[in-house]
């Protein structure tokens, strides 16, 4: 009951609430008994412009902001749009936090990204290593824009005593993900490629890079749970990783997805295309100690649900 009582008293602004992660966060808020949840729509409030952000806080008296909005995508999208990803993500974050402070919104939850880490971070990634190098080049503009939310929050805490926290989820996956091959991340891209190849009887699929990089994946419902636990219980200045603590290579991931989709062809790797960061795996102890979060969904089970959701969507489109 205490959890529901907490959220029943809140008036929450969710930016990016119509996106992949945002929809799950909004659903989790509703399940917790949140009565006043305002999902920001870009058509109504373009958050890159100050007058719209100011108007948002005038229109919606809030006690908390969950700031998820960003321009985001996989390696290809980051390579093609580094300028817009940087500008959009930075401006939305800076303006949302500044005007939350000016409007006396008691708490700001900034959702960052694993892309903030240096390219060659020792594994597992510890939050204390965040500043020991430059991020991986293909997603550095996006990662650094999100990292400025951390800097801003810590500076505002120091000067104004403002309660801003910074959460860094690892790669997310799950139902409702983006399956557009031009902009998607690796899991939806592989699911779609395997499914299409199976449908067409193609003998192989192409995969960017050499298959050696590792990634850590967090089921999107677990990520939403982690963000809301942090919103409820965490009020610290230090950034916090949000992950599952498990690591898998792209090569092993492709094999697992092919098995779940039923694709029996081969993989052809293209080493002329970028690998992205060599390894990603998080130290998840701070989230566990600070607000009791640990991922609950086994990876294979989460993947199976994601594949099932995609096949359902394809079936619905073909019906």
Residue 211 lies in a domain: no
Number of folded domains that form the chain: 1
Q: pLDDT for 15-41, tens place per residue?
A: 999 999 999 999 999 999 999 999 999
Residue 185 lies in a domain: no
- Of 45, 57, 142, 310, catalytic: 142
Output the six-digit token pair for 21.
């992660």
* Half-sphere exposure in the Cβ direction for 308 (13 Å, CA): 6
> What sections of the chain are H helices per DSSP?
2-8, 20-31, 50-59, 75-80, 82-102, 140-160, 186-200, 220-233, 250-261, 285-291, 299-318
The pLDDT-based confidence of 134 (bands split at 50, 70, 90) is very high
Residue 194 lies in a domain: no
pTM: 0.93
Give the pLDDT confidence score for residue 73 in this predicted structure. 62
Q: pLDDT for 90-116, tens place per residue?
A: 999 999 999 999 999 999 999 999 999
Annotated catalytic residue 142: yes
Residue 180 lies in a domain: no
Residue 113 lies in a domain: yes
Domain with 84, as residue range(s), is: 2-174+216-247+279-297
Q: Which domain CATH number covers 60?
A: 3.40.50.720
Give the pLDDT confidence score for residue 53 in this predicted structure. 98
Residue 209 lies in a domain: no
Is residue 1 scored above 50 in pLDDT? no
């Amino acid at each position: 009951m205490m959890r529901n009582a907490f959220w029943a008293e809140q008036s929450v602004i969710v930016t990016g609430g119509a996106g992949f992660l945002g929809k799950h966060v909004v659903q989790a808020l509703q399940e917790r008994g949140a009565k006043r949840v305002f999902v920001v729509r870009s058509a109504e409030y373009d958050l890159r412009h100050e007058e719209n952000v100011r108007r948002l806080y005038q229109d919606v008296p809030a006690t908390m902001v969950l700031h998820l909005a960003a321009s985001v995508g996989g390696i290809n999208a980051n390579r093609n749009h580094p300028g817009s990803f940087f500008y959009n993500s930075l401006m939305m974050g800076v303006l949302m936090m500044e005007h939350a402070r000016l409007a006396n919104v008691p708490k700001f939850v900034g959702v960052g990204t694993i892309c903030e880490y240096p390219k060659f971070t020792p594994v597992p990634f510890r939050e204390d290593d965040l500043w020991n190098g430059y991020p991986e080049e293909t997603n550095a503009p996006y990662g650094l824009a999100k990292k400025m939310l951390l800097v801003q929050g810590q500076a505002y805490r120091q000067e104004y005593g403002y309660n801003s926290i910074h959460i860094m989820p690892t790669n997310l996956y799950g139902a409702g993900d983006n399956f557009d091959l031009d902009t998607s991340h690796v899991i939806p891209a592989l699911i779609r490629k395997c499914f299409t190849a199976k449908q067409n009887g193609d003998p192989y699929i192409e995969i960017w890079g050499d298959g050696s990089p590792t990634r850590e994946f967090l089921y999107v419902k677990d990520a939403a749970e982690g963000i809301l636990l942090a919103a409820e219980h965490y009020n610290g200045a230090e950034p916090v990783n949000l992950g599952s603590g498990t690591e898998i290579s792209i090569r092993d991931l492709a094999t697992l997805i092919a098995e779940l989709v039923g694709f029996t062809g081969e993989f052809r790797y293209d080493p002329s295309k970028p690998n992205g960061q060599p390894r990603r795996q998080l130290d998840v102890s701070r989230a566990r100690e600070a607000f009791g979060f640990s991922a609950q969904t086994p990876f294979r089970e989460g993947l199976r649900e994601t594949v099932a959701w995609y096949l359902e969507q394809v079936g619905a489109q073909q019906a």
